[in-house]
Amino acid sequence: MKESDSCHFGEHLMLDGYGGDSKKLSDRELVLSILNDLPGRLGMTKLSDPEVYFAPGNNGKDPGGWSGFVVIAESHISIHTFPARGFLSVDAYTCRNGMDCGFITAYFKERFGLGDVEEHFVKRGKRYPAENIG
């Protein structure tokens, strides 16, 4: 069976955003708002309220910023901001197939004023069993 014909468990979109608005990347409430809003826009179900934490810098390449996540029935969405670098890192992982990567990328570009985005898309569980075992 060719990979294109096979079923896969889920999809994982990883975004790296550059040239973002440092004020927006510093905004805890914006991160929280996105984590509350995006699952519904994607037709997904939140299992908990989002959590957002300030992560201090480590005197290295990480100058600190906000880290947040929301657990959804379909998996999770996480956001990490680095205001001093204008950088954003996002993971959107779902057990659904057919993720609208274009919508998600445009959403984050607009919300954080990103100048450029790298998109990494992975089909997960390419050999996911079709039936329960045991």
Which residues are catalytic, by number? 75, 80, 95
Residue position matching structure tokens 């680095």: 82
The amino acid at residue 30 is: L
**CA distance linking residue 50 with residue 59, whole number of Å:** 28
Residue position matching structure tokens 């990567």: 101
CB-based contact 48:70 (threshold 8 Å): yes
Amino acid letter, 39: P
Instruction: Name which of 17, 4, 22, 9 is nearest 91 in CA terms.
Output: 17
Here the tokens at position 70 are: 């929301």
